Protein backbone atom coordinates (compact mmCIF):
# COMPACT_ATOMS: atom_id res chain seq x y z
CA UNK A 1 0.00 0.00 0.00
CA UNK A 2 2.19 2.86 -1.15
CA UNK A 3 1.29 6.16 0.42
CA UNK A 4 3.30 9.33 -0.17
CA UNK A 5 1.00 11.94 1.36
CA UNK A 6 3.36 12.57 4.29
CA UNK A 7 6.30 13.24 1.97
CA UNK A 8 4.18 15.46 -0.30
CA UNK A 9 3.08 17.56 2.68
CA UNK A 10 6.56 17.88 4.14
CA UNK A 11 8.17 18.86 0.85
CA UNK A 12 5.46 21.40 -0.05
CA UNK A 13 5.59 22.96 3.42
CA UNK A 14 9.38 23.08 3.33
CA UNK A 15 9.36 24.93 -0.01
CA UNK A 16 6.67 27.36 1.12
CA UNK A 17 8.60 28.15 4.30
CA UNK A 18 11.75 28.63 2.17
CA UNK A 19 13.72 26.10 4.23
CA UNK A 20 17.19 25.05 3.17
CA UNK A 21 16.89 21.40 4.19
CA UNK A 22 14.08 19.19 5.43
CA UNK A 23 14.18 15.91 7.32
CA UNK A 24 11.76 13.18 6.34
CA UNK A 25 11.44 9.65 7.82
CA UNK A 26 14.04 7.28 6.39
CA UNK A 27 11.97 4.60 4.63
CA UNK A 28 12.48 2.74 1.33
CA UNK A 29 9.47 4.50 -0.21
CA UNK A 30 10.66 7.97 0.83
CA UNK A 31 14.17 7.19 -0.40
CA UNK A 32 12.88 6.03 -3.78
CA UNK A 33 10.67 9.11 -4.26
CA UNK A 34 13.48 11.43 -3.10
CA UNK A 35 15.84 9.82 -5.63
CA UNK A 36 13.37 10.48 -8.44
CA UNK A 37 12.97 14.09 -7.28
CA UNK A 38 16.75 14.46 -7.23
CA UNK A 39 17.17 13.10 -10.74
CA UNK A 40 14.40 15.34 -12.02
CA UNK A 41 16.01 18.41 -10.47
CA UNK A 42 13.50 19.41 -7.81
CA UNK A 43 15.88 18.71 -4.96
CA UNK A 44 19.64 19.22 -5.00
CA UNK A 45 20.81 16.69 -2.40
CA UNK A 46 19.56 13.53 -0.64
CA UNK A 47 21.55 12.48 2.45
CA UNK A 48 20.91 10.13 5.33
CA UNK A 49 21.22 11.64 8.77
CA UNK A 50 20.24 12.21 12.32
CA UNK A 51 17.06 13.84 13.55
CA UNK A 52 19.27 16.90 14.21
CA UNK A 53 21.48 17.11 11.13
CA UNK A 54 22.71 15.11 8.11
CA UNK A 55 25.62 12.67 8.53
CA UNK A 56 29.10 13.96 7.85
CA UNK A 57 30.51 10.41 7.49
CA UNK A 58 28.77 7.14 6.68
CA UNK A 59 26.77 5.91 9.67
CA UNK A 60 25.19 2.45 9.39
CA UNK A 61 21.60 2.07 10.53
CA UNK A 62 21.49 -0.21 13.58
CA UNK A 63 18.80 -1.13 16.07
CA UNK A 64 20.16 1.50 18.43
CA UNK A 65 19.91 4.49 16.11
CA UNK A 66 17.03 3.44 13.83
CA UNK A 67 14.55 5.69 15.65
CA UNK A 68 16.59 8.82 14.91
CA UNK A 69 17.38 8.02 11.26
CA UNK A 70 16.15 10.64 8.78
CA UNK A 71 16.52 11.54 5.12
CA UNK A 72 17.70 15.09 4.57
CA UNK A 73 16.67 16.76 1.30
CA UNK A 74 18.27 20.04 0.23
CA UNK A 75 15.60 22.17 -1.39
CA UNK A 76 16.21 24.21 -4.55
CA UNK A 77 15.28 27.81 -5.25
CA UNK A 78 15.94 29.82 -8.41
CA UNK A 79 15.36 33.50 -9.26
CA UNK A 80 13.68 34.19 -5.93
CA UNK A 81 11.12 31.38 -6.31
CA UNK A 82 10.92 27.75 -5.25
CA UNK A 83 11.57 25.23 -7.99
CA UNK A 84 8.69 23.05 -6.78
CA UNK A 85 5.26 24.65 -6.63
CA UNK A 86 2.97 21.67 -6.09
CA UNK A 87 3.33 18.03 -5.12
CA UNK A 88 0.08 16.18 -4.57
CA UNK A 89 -1.13 12.60 -4.39
CA UNK A 90 -3.11 11.20 -7.31
CA UNK A 91 -3.95 7.65 -6.22
CA UNK A 92 -5.47 7.82 -2.74
CA UNK A 93 -6.90 5.15 -0.44
CA UNK A 94 -10.36 6.62 -1.15
CA UNK A 95 -9.85 6.23 -4.91
CA UNK A 96 -7.03 4.08 -6.31
CA UNK A 97 -5.85 4.99 -9.82
CA UNK A 98 -3.97 2.40 -11.85
CA UNK A 99 -2.91 3.19 -15.40
CA UNK A 100 -2.17 1.00 -18.38
CA UNK A 101 0.60 1.89 -20.82
CA UNK A 102 -1.95 3.31 -23.28
CA UNK A 103 -3.39 5.60 -20.58
CA UNK A 104 0.11 6.69 -19.58
CA UNK A 105 0.81 7.66 -23.19
CA UNK A 106 -2.39 9.74 -23.17
CA UNK A 107 -1.33 11.54 -20.00
CA UNK A 108 2.12 12.40 -21.28
CA UNK A 109 0.80 13.68 -24.61
CA UNK A 110 -1.75 16.13 -23.19
CA UNK A 111 -4.92 14.04 -22.97
CA UNK A 112 -6.89 13.28 -19.84
CA UNK A 113 -6.96 9.64 -18.67
CA UNK A 114 -8.96 7.96 -15.90
CA UNK A 115 -9.97 11.32 -14.44
CA UNK A 116 -6.34 12.45 -14.15
CA UNK A 117 -5.56 15.80 -15.75
CA UNK A 118 -2.80 15.65 -18.40
CA UNK A 119 0.79 16.47 -17.51
CA UNK A 120 1.81 20.08 -18.20
CA UNK A 121 5.25 21.18 -19.45
CA UNK A 122 7.69 20.61 -16.61
CA UNK A 123 5.39 18.33 -14.66
CA UNK A 124 6.34 14.79 -13.65
CA UNK A 125 4.34 11.85 -12.31
CA UNK A 126 5.76 9.13 -10.06
CA UNK A 127 4.48 5.62 -10.74
CA UNK A 128 4.65 2.54 -8.59
CA UNK A 129 5.16 -0.43 -10.93
CA UNK A 130 6.06 -4.07 -10.41
CA UNK A 131 9.62 -3.09 -11.38
CA UNK A 132 9.79 -0.52 -8.60
CA UNK A 133 9.14 3.18 -8.25
CA UNK A 134 9.92 5.25 -11.32
CA UNK A 135 8.95 8.35 -13.23
CA UNK A 136 6.17 7.97 -15.82
CA UNK A 137 8.50 8.39 -18.79
CA UNK A 138 10.86 5.69 -17.47
CA UNK A 139 7.86 3.39 -17.02
CA UNK A 140 6.86 4.06 -20.64
CA UNK A 141 10.34 3.13 -21.83
CA UNK A 142 10.09 -0.16 -19.92
CA UNK A 143 6.52 -0.58 -21.14
CA UNK A 144 5.06 -1.19 -17.67
CA UNK A 145 1.90 0.21 -16.13
CA UNK A 146 1.11 0.71 -12.50
CA UNK A 147 -0.34 2.92 -9.81
CA UNK A 148 0.24 6.66 -10.25
CA UNK A 149 1.32 7.84 -6.81
CA UNK A 150 1.83 11.58 -7.11
CA UNK A 151 2.46 14.42 -9.52
CA UNK A 152 5.08 17.13 -9.04
CA UNK A 153 5.10 20.59 -10.64
CA UNK B 1 51.66 105.34 14.86
CA UNK B 2 48.02 104.19 14.64
CA UNK B 3 47.15 107.12 12.34
CA UNK B 4 50.01 106.26 9.99
CA UNK B 5 48.60 102.67 9.76
CA UNK B 6 45.19 103.97 8.94
CA UNK B 7 46.49 106.36 6.24
CA UNK B 8 48.53 103.55 4.66
CA UNK B 9 45.47 101.24 4.59
CA UNK B 10 43.42 104.07 3.20
CA UNK B 11 45.88 104.69 0.36
CA UNK B 12 46.04 100.96 -0.45
CA UNK B 13 42.25 100.81 -0.57
CA UNK B 14 42.06 103.89 -2.74
CA UNK B 15 44.25 102.18 -5.37
CA UNK B 16 41.14 100.17 -6.43
CA UNK B 17 39.60 102.37 -9.17
CA UNK B 18 35.94 101.94 -8.14
CA UNK B 19 36.69 102.70 -4.57
CA UNK B 20 38.89 105.65 -5.44
CA UNK B 21 35.87 107.61 -6.60
CA UNK B 22 34.05 106.72 -3.39
CA UNK B 23 36.86 108.06 -1.33
CA UNK B 24 36.84 111.51 -3.01
CA UNK B 25 35.12 114.14 -0.96
CA UNK B 26 33.96 116.26 -3.94
CA UNK B 27 31.40 114.37 -6.09
CA UNK B 28 31.07 115.24 -9.74
CA UNK B 29 27.35 115.09 -10.48
CA UNK B 30 27.55 116.26 -14.12
CA UNK B 31 28.86 112.87 -15.29
CA UNK B 32 27.05 109.49 -14.92
CA UNK B 33 28.63 107.07 -12.48
CA UNK B 34 28.94 103.49 -13.69
CA UNK B 35 28.02 101.94 -10.39
CA UNK B 36 25.68 104.37 -8.73
CA UNK B 37 23.65 105.63 -11.70
CA UNK B 38 21.09 103.52 -13.61
CA UNK B 39 21.12 104.30 -17.32
CA UNK B 40 18.41 101.87 -18.50
CA UNK B 41 15.48 103.65 -16.92
CA UNK B 42 12.31 103.90 -18.99
CA UNK B 43 11.44 107.30 -20.44
CA UNK B 44 7.92 107.20 -18.92
CA UNK B 45 6.76 106.28 -15.47
CA UNK B 46 4.47 103.34 -16.56
CA UNK B 47 6.02 99.88 -16.01
CA UNK B 48 5.88 97.83 -19.21
CA UNK B 49 5.30 94.06 -18.51
CA UNK B 50 7.46 93.59 -15.45
CA UNK B 51 6.70 89.78 -15.40
CA UNK B 52 6.81 88.39 -18.97
CA UNK B 53 4.54 85.42 -19.61
CA UNK B 54 5.87 82.63 -21.88
CA UNK B 55 2.63 80.89 -22.74
CA UNK B 56 2.84 78.25 -25.49
CA UNK B 57 0.93 79.33 -28.60
CA UNK B 58 -1.60 76.41 -28.86
CA UNK B 59 -3.02 75.36 -25.54
CA UNK B 60 -5.71 72.67 -25.48
CA UNK B 61 -7.69 73.12 -22.36
CA UNK B 62 -10.34 70.52 -21.47
CA UNK B 63 -8.94 68.15 -24.11
CA UNK B 64 -6.78 65.06 -23.58
CA UNK B 65 -3.54 65.16 -25.53
CA UNK B 66 -3.27 62.52 -28.27
CA UNK B 67 0.48 62.04 -27.87
CA UNK B 68 1.37 59.23 -25.50
CA UNK B 69 4.91 58.96 -24.18
CA UNK B 70 5.66 55.46 -25.43
CA UNK B 71 8.44 53.69 -27.37
CA UNK B 72 5.94 53.24 -30.20
CA UNK B 73 5.75 55.96 -32.81
CA UNK B 74 2.49 57.78 -33.57
CA UNK B 75 1.88 55.68 -36.69
CA UNK B 76 2.42 52.45 -34.74
CA UNK B 77 0.11 53.66 -32.00
CA UNK B 78 -2.58 54.37 -34.57
CA UNK B 79 -2.20 50.87 -36.06
CA UNK B 80 -2.76 49.14 -32.68
CA UNK B 81 -5.91 47.11 -32.11
CA UNK B 82 -7.97 49.02 -29.57
CA UNK B 83 -11.15 47.69 -28.00
CA UNK B 84 -13.23 49.44 -25.34
CA UNK B 85 -14.51 46.40 -23.47
CA UNK B 86 -16.25 48.13 -20.56
CA UNK B 87 -18.00 51.51 -20.75
CA UNK B 88 -20.36 52.20 -17.91
CA UNK B 89 -21.88 55.02 -15.94
CA UNK B 90 -20.56 55.32 -12.38
CA UNK B 91 -21.77 57.64 -9.65
CA UNK B 92 -19.89 59.34 -6.85
CA UNK B 93 -22.04 60.27 -3.87
CA UNK B 94 -20.92 63.25 -1.85
CA UNK B 95 -22.42 66.10 0.13
CA UNK B 96 -23.57 67.90 -3.03
CA UNK B 97 -25.47 64.84 -4.26
CA UNK B 98 -24.91 62.30 -7.07
CA UNK B 99 -21.94 63.04 -9.34
CA UNK B 100 -22.22 60.83 -12.41
CA UNK B 101 -19.24 60.07 -14.63
CA UNK B 102 -18.36 57.55 -17.33
CA UNK B 103 -15.83 54.77 -16.76
CA UNK B 104 -14.05 53.01 -19.61
CA UNK B 105 -11.70 50.01 -19.74
CA UNK B 106 -9.81 49.69 -22.99
CA UNK B 107 -7.60 46.81 -24.12
CA UNK B 108 -4.86 47.59 -26.61
CA UNK B 109 -2.55 45.26 -28.51
CA UNK B 110 -0.60 44.74 -31.70
CA UNK B 111 -1.41 41.06 -32.26
CA UNK B 112 2.29 40.14 -31.98
CA UNK B 113 2.60 39.73 -28.21
CA UNK B 114 2.37 43.37 -27.06
CA UNK B 115 -0.78 44.17 -25.10
CA UNK B 116 -2.08 46.13 -22.15
CA UNK B 117 -5.21 47.53 -20.58
CA UNK B 118 -6.09 50.95 -19.19
CA UNK B 119 -8.95 52.47 -17.24
CA UNK B 120 -10.24 56.02 -17.57
CA UNK B 121 -12.97 58.11 -16.02
CA UNK B 122 -14.44 61.37 -17.27
CA UNK B 123 -17.72 63.28 -17.57
CA UNK B 124 -18.02 62.32 -21.24
CA UNK B 125 -17.77 58.74 -22.46
CA UNK B 126 -15.58 59.58 -25.47
CA UNK B 127 -13.05 61.40 -23.30
CA UNK B 128 -13.03 58.55 -20.80
CA UNK B 129 -12.33 56.08 -23.61
CA UNK B 130 -9.52 58.30 -24.88
CA UNK B 131 -7.96 58.52 -21.40
CA UNK B 132 -8.23 54.77 -21.02
CA UNK B 133 -6.64 54.17 -24.43
CA UNK B 134 -3.68 56.40 -23.56
CA UNK B 135 -3.18 54.62 -20.25
CA UNK B 136 -3.46 51.26 -21.99
CA UNK B 137 -0.73 52.23 -24.50
CA UNK B 138 1.48 53.29 -21.59
CA UNK B 139 0.84 50.02 -19.73
CA UNK B 140 1.62 47.73 -22.66
CA UNK B 141 3.97 44.80 -22.05
CA UNK B 142 5.24 41.88 -24.05
CA UNK B 143 3.63 38.49 -23.46
CA UNK B 144 5.53 35.38 -24.49
CA UNK B 145 3.60 32.81 -26.49
CA UNK B 146 4.44 29.25 -27.43
CA UNK B 147 4.91 29.01 -31.19
CA UNK B 148 3.43 32.57 -31.44
CA UNK B 149 -0.06 31.14 -31.19
CA UNK B 150 -0.87 29.81 -27.71
CA UNK B 151 0.10 29.82 -24.04
CA UNK B 152 2.93 27.59 -22.79
CA UNK B 153 0.94 25.50 -20.31
CA UNK B 154 -2.55 25.35 -18.80
CA UNK B 155 -2.99 28.30 -16.45
CA UNK B 156 -5.34 28.49 -13.52
CA UNK B 157 -5.58 31.88 -11.84
CA UNK B 158 -7.83 33.41 -9.19
CA UNK B 159 -8.35 37.18 -8.98
CA UNK B 160 -10.81 38.29 -6.28
CA UNK B 161 -13.83 36.08 -6.89
CA UNK B 162 -12.99 35.33 -10.51
CA UNK B 163 -11.27 32.09 -11.49
CA UNK B 164 -9.82 31.97 -14.98
CA UNK B 165 -8.69 28.75 -16.71
CA UNK B 166 -6.61 29.05 -19.88
CA UNK B 167 -5.68 25.84 -21.70
CA UNK B 168 -3.26 25.34 -24.58
CA UNK B 169 -4.69 23.86 -27.71
CA UNK B 170 -3.20 22.55 -30.97
CA UNK B 171 -2.89 24.74 -34.06
CA UNK B 172 -6.16 25.36 -35.86
CA UNK B 173 -8.27 24.97 -32.72
CA UNK B 174 -9.21 28.61 -32.56
CA UNK B 175 -10.05 30.98 -29.75
CA UNK B 176 -12.88 29.41 -27.74
CA UNK B 177 -13.37 31.32 -24.55
CA UNK B 178 -15.30 34.00 -22.67
CA UNK B 179 -15.82 37.06 -24.92
CA UNK B 180 -13.51 39.23 -22.78
CA UNK B 181 -10.75 36.62 -22.84
CA UNK B 182 -11.38 36.27 -26.58
CA UNK B 183 -10.75 39.99 -27.19
CA UNK B 184 -7.66 40.07 -24.99
CA UNK B 185 -6.19 37.02 -26.74
CA UNK B 186 -6.90 38.62 -30.12
CA UNK B 187 -5.00 41.74 -29.08
CA UNK B 188 -2.10 39.68 -27.69
CA UNK B 189 -1.99 37.40 -30.73
CA UNK B 190 -3.04 34.10 -29.15
CA UNK B 191 -4.92 32.14 -31.80
CA UNK B 192 -5.48 28.72 -30.19
CA UNK B 193 -6.78 28.71 -26.65
CA UNK B 194 -9.60 27.27 -24.61
CA UNK B 195 -10.71 29.44 -21.74
CA UNK B 196 -13.28 29.23 -18.98
CA UNK B 197 -14.30 31.69 -16.29
CA UNK B 198 -15.66 30.23 -13.07
CA UNK B 199 -17.06 32.13 -10.17
CA UNK B 200 -17.69 35.82 -10.64
CA UNK B 201 -17.89 36.99 -14.29
CA UNK B 202 -17.66 40.75 -13.61
CA UNK B 203 -16.11 42.12 -16.86
CA UNK B 204 -13.56 44.34 -15.11
CA UNK B 205 -12.30 41.49 -12.95
CA UNK B 206 -12.29 38.95 -15.80
CA UNK B 207 -10.03 41.25 -17.84
CA UNK B 208 -7.68 41.91 -14.92
CA UNK B 209 -7.61 38.21 -14.04
CA UNK B 210 -6.71 37.25 -17.63
CA UNK B 211 -3.88 39.75 -17.78
CA UNK B 212 -2.52 38.52 -14.44
CA UNK B 213 -2.81 34.91 -15.60
CA UNK B 214 -0.89 35.63 -18.82
CA UNK B 215 1.66 37.52 -16.70
CA UNK B 216 2.53 34.58 -14.47
CA UNK B 217 3.60 32.26 -17.28
CA UNK B 218 7.13 30.87 -17.26
CA UNK B 219 8.85 29.93 -20.49
CA UNK B 220 10.06 26.38 -21.10
CA UNK B 221 13.72 27.48 -21.07
CA UNK B 222 13.30 29.07 -17.63
CA UNK B 223 11.70 25.89 -16.29
CA UNK B 224 14.51 23.75 -17.66
CA UNK B 225 17.18 26.07 -16.31
CA UNK B 226 15.65 26.02 -12.84
CA UNK B 227 15.67 22.23 -12.75
CA UNK B 228 19.04 21.84 -14.42
CA UNK B 229 17.61 20.00 -17.40
CA UNK B 230 18.20 20.26 -21.13
CA UNK B 231 15.10 21.07 -23.16
CA UNK B 232 14.72 19.86 -26.74
CA UNK B 233 11.97 20.89 -29.14
CA UNK B 234 10.67 17.60 -30.48
CA UNK B 235 7.42 18.93 -31.91
CA UNK B 236 8.98 21.12 -34.59
CA UNK B 237 12.02 18.98 -35.38
CA UNK B 238 10.26 15.64 -35.84
CA UNK B 239 6.61 16.48 -36.48
CA UNK B 240 6.85 19.82 -38.21
CA UNK B 241 4.91 22.95 -37.23
Of B153, B222, B229, the CB nearest to A120: B153
**Total count of domains within chain B:** 2
Query: Is B131 within the bounds of a domain?
Result: yes
Q: Average pLDDT, stretch A92-119? A: 96
Domains and CATH numbers, chain A: 5-82 (3.30.1370.30), 90-152 (3.30.1490.10)
Check the CA dihedral B123-B126-B132-B137 and report its sign: negative
- Domain hosting B170: range is 155-219
| Largest separation between any pair of C-alpha atoms in chain A | 50
Give the pLDDT of residue B54: 65
How many Å apart are CA B223 and CA B212, to the nearest integer? Answer: 19
DSSP letter (8 states) at residue A151: E
Give the pLDDT of residue B232: 85
Give the pLDDT of residue B29: 83
Q: What is the ipTM of this complex?
A: 0.88
Chain B touched by A121 (CB under 8 Å): yes
Are B153 and A40 inside 8 Å of each other by CB? no
In sequence order, the 6+-apart residues with CB closer than 8 A to the CB of B55 are: none
Chain B touched by A41 (CB under 8 Å): yes
Residue B188 Cα to chain centre, angstroms: 20
> Is the same domain home to B163 and B103?
no
Query: Is B235 within the bounds of a domain?
Result: no
How many CB atoms neighbour CB B46 within 10 A? 6
Report H helices in A24-117.
28-40, 101-108
In sequence order, the 6+-apart residues with CB closer than 8 A to the CB of B211 are: B115, B116, B117, B184
Query: Is B135 within the bounds of a domain?
Result: yes
Of B220, B226, B228, the CB nearest to A121: B220
Is the pLDDT confidence value at B59 over 90? no
Give the pLDDT of residue B27: 72
How many Å apart are CA A44 and CA A11, to the nearest integer? Answer: 13
> Is the same domain home to B93 and B115?
yes
> What tens digit of pLDDT does each residue of A35-73 get?
999 999 999 999 999 999 999 999 999 999 999 999 999
Count CA atoms within 13 Å of residue A103 on its CB side: 17
Confidence of residue B69 (pLDDT cuts 50, 70, 90): confident
pTM above 0.90, yes or no: no
Amino acid sequence: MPRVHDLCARIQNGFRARLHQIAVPDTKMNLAVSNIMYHEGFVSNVVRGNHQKPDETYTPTTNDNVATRRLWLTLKYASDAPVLSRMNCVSKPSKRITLTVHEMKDLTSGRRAKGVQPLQPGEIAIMSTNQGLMEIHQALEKNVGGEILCRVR
Amino acid sequence: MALRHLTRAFTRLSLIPSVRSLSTVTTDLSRLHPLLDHTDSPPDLDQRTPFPVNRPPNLHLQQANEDVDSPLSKQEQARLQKKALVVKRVVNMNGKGKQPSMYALVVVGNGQGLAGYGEGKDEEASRAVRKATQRAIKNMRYFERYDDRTVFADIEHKFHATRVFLRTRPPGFGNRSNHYIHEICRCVGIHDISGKVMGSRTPMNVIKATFEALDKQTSIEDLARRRGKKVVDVQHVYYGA
